[in-house]
């Protein structure tokens, strides 16, 4: 596991990659605490804001992995993918076309919000 505390300057792969390999609930709990502490210490977030952001990041990042990893990460960190929701099995995942449509819809909504 990465040495704790976690530094401010770190890539997403270095920051979130170790969580994708974890299987022990206690290790996951400690790592989530370190992620939350990093958000508070380096980015001025409240603990609640940081926890929400870190769980969303973990859920999103797990989407780049196989279904088994995604399911394990969602369970270990009590998180969910921001678009797909909590994934418990392959059936919970959208098809590639559905995922693309979700992303397109999200981008359109963000464009409208920013008045572009």
Tens-place pLDDT, residues 59-97: 999 999 999 999 999 999 999 999 899 988 889 888 889
More confident residue, 106 or 62: 62
pLDDT in tens, 35-61: 999 999 999 999 999 999 999 999 999
Decide if 82 is inside a domain.
yes
- pLDDT at 16 > cutoff 70: yes
Residue span of the structural domain in which 76 resides: 12-88
Task: For residue 23, tell me if it sits in a domain.
Answer: yes
In a domain, 108, yes or no: no
Domain for residue 111, yes or no?
no
pLDDT at 4: 79
The pLDDT value given to residue 62: 96
Q: Model confidence at 114, in pLDDT bands (50, 70, 90)?
A: confident
Considering its fold, how many domains does the chain have in total?
1
Residue 2 pLDDT: 55
DSSP the chain: ---SSPPSS--HHHHHHHHHH---HHHHHHHHHHHHHHHHHHH---HHHHHHHHHHHHHHHHTTS-HHHHHHHHHHHT--BTTTB--SSGGGSPPHHHHHHHHHHHHHHHHHHTT-
Is residue 102 assigned to a domain? no
Residue 39, domain member (yes or no): yes
């Amino acid at each position: 596991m990465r040495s704790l505390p976690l530094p401010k300057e770190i890539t997403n792969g270095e920051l979130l990659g170790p969580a994708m390999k974890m299987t022990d609930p206690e290790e996951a709990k400690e790592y989530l605490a370190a992620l939350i502490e990093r958000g508070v210490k380096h980015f001025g977030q409240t603990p609640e804001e940081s926890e929400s952001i870190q769980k969303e990041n973990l859920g999103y990042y797990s989407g780049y992995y196989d279904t088994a990893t995604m399911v394990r990460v969602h369970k270990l960190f009590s998180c969910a993918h921001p678009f797909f929701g909590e994934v418990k099995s392959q059936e919970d995942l959208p098809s590639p076309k559905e995922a693309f449509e979700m992303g397109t819809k999200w981008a359109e909504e963000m464009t409208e919000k920013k008045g572009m």
